[in-house]
Chains A and B, each alone.
Chain A
Amino acid sequence: MKFAVTINEGPYQHQASDSAYLFCRAALEKGHEIRRVFFYNDGVNNASSLTEPPLDDRNIVARWSKLAEEHKLDLVVCVAAALRRGIRDENLASGFRISGLGQLVEAGIEADRLVTFGD
Chain B
Amino acid sequence: MLHIVNKSPAERNALESCLRVVQEGGAILLIEDAVYAATRGNAAENHLRDALSRFKVYALTPDLEARGMGDRVMAGVTTVDYGGFVDLVAEHKNCQSWL
Contact = CB atoms under 8 A, between A and B. Distances in A.
Contacts of B31: 19
Contacts of B97: 115-118
A32 B90 contact: yes
Contact of B32 (A15, A26, A30): A15
A105 interface: no
A101 interface: no
Contacts of B83: 26, 29-30
B82 A3 contact: no
Interface string B33-66: 1000000000000000000000000000010000
Nearest to A114: B95
Interface string B86-99: 11011000110101
A22 B94 CA distance: 20
Interface in A26-63: 26-27, 29-30, 32
Interface of B: 4, 6, 31-33, 62, 81-83, 85-87, 89-90, 94-95, 97, 99
Interface residues of A, number: 22
Contacts of A114: 95
A12 interface: no
6 contacts: A15-B33, A26-B82, A26-B83, A29-B83, A30-B87, A115-B95
A45 B95 CA distance: 25
Nearest to B99: A118
A97 interface: no
Contacts of A8: 99
A1 interface: yes
The listed residue with most A CB atoms (<10 A of its CB), out of B83, B85, B89, B94, is B89
